[in-house]
Chains A and B, each alone.
Chain A
Amino acid sequence: MSTSTRKLLAVFAHPDDESFICGGTLAKYASSGVEITLVSATRGEMGRRMGNPPYLNRETMAAARELELREACKCLGVQHLQFFDIRDKTVEFVDPDQLSDRIAGLIREVDPDVILTFHEQWGGHPDHCAIGKATAEALARTGLKKALYYISFGDSLAYPESFGYTREDISQINISKFKKAKLAAFRAHRCQTEMDEWVWLPDKQAMNRLGDYEYFIRGNEEALRRDRSDLF
């Protein structure tokens, strides 16, 4: 085992992907000293939720969501944040070759042990699928042996058979001690969560709505070699 700092690179599409989907896992590893770099391909500026009551419009949204993401990063312990400045909803129309090259450069620069991104098929939004596909391709281009995982929503992968996976394909991370940080990150994304009443209940009640586990599809041989309860 190397004694150097463990590193994680997360390549996502929108501000809030990191919090809503795998905020507990990011908080857990950050608290154990993992250095985390987050990429948000867009600023989520084409989102539909504008606060409740609404206080944003299309032209003010990018700056507001950037601020919210910076705040969420503080809640989770994410140290480094980069934007790719792609317009929200257009990631799939960016030149895929250039996008993969850009991500490959970042993988070489950050030199992470673990990479998180979206599954190109199960991503759930065209931007998610596109950034996931480009990231997997980028890792292949580097030829580096990094563990690649695909993030998943909620506990849909508690029963992976319906997606054609076995339990062996899935890592499950216990985040039960990190719900406070995850909830704080949800609240940091205020314009997106303001209409969800449960987020603003007293802490304990709100935290009860968060699952104890976050699930990840193991995306390559490096990931499959790891223990199922730990990404590293």
Chain B
Amino acid sequence: MNPIIQSEVEELLRAFVGEEIHVHSEATSYVFVRNFKLKLTQAFVAGEGPFRVAFRFDHIGWLRMEALTHYELDHEDRLLLAGYDDRGRMNVALHLGKEPFAE
């Protein structure tokens, strides 16, 4: 995982806009949603680090997360975003893939 560079993440997100995608989203200590399927219509990155990311989907949907610090495009071309604290603990994760994530 690499520290987020806003312009690079925005560029990577563009590959998912307009597509049917699978999402894994979690606030680690409280909630996770795995493999929800949506049609992404817009994707935003904001902040100066940690970053906020928001999606618009299926005309009526919003997904917004904050505290994101790191990203990686993995070997299956999935975009993995995560937020870690200063001791390596994950607070949040937001993963996008064109195929379902492992159940």
Residues of A within 8 A of B (CB): 46, 48-55, 57-60, 62, 87, 89, 194-195
Selecting from B5-13, B51-59, B86-94, the interface stretch reads B86-94
Query: Are the C-beta atoms of A54 and B80 separated by less than 8 Å?
Result: no
B87 to A, closest residue via Cβ? A195
Report Cα–Cα, A46/B28, bound state, in Å. Answer: 8
Report Cα–Cα, A54/B87, bound state, in Å. Answer: 8
Report Cα–Cα, A181/B59, bound state, in Å. Answer: 57
Report Cα–Cα, A89/B31, bound state, in Å. Answer: 10
A62 to B, closest residue via Cβ? B102
- The total of Cβ contacts below 8 Å across the A-B interface reads 57
How many of chain B's residues have a CB under 8 angstroms from any CB in A? 22
Taking CB atoms, residues of chain B closer than 8 Å to A89 are 32
Residues of B within 8 A of A (CB): 1, 24, 26, 28-29, 32, 70, 72, 74, 78, 80, 82, 84, 87-90, 93, 95, 101-103
Taking CB atoms, residues of chain B closer than 8 Å to A54 are 1, 70, 82, 84, 88-90
Taking CB atoms, residues of chain A closer than 8 Å to B87 are 52, 195
Given A48-B28, A48-B29, A87-B103: A57 in contact with B80 (beta carbons within 8 A): yes
Query: Are the C-beta atoms of B101 and A57 separated by less than 8 Å?
Result: no
Report Cα–Cα, A59/B75, bound state, in Å. Answer: 11
B74, B80, B84: residue with the most chain A Cβ atoms closer than 10 Å: B84
B76 to A, closest residue via Cβ? A59
Query: Are the C-beta atoms of A58 and B103 separated by less than 8 Å?
Result: no
Report Cα–Cα, A62/B82, bound state, in Å. Answer: 16
Taking CB atoms, residues of chain A closer than 8 Å to B78 are 59
3 smallest CB-CB distances across A and B, nearest first, come from A52-B88, A54-B88, A195-B87
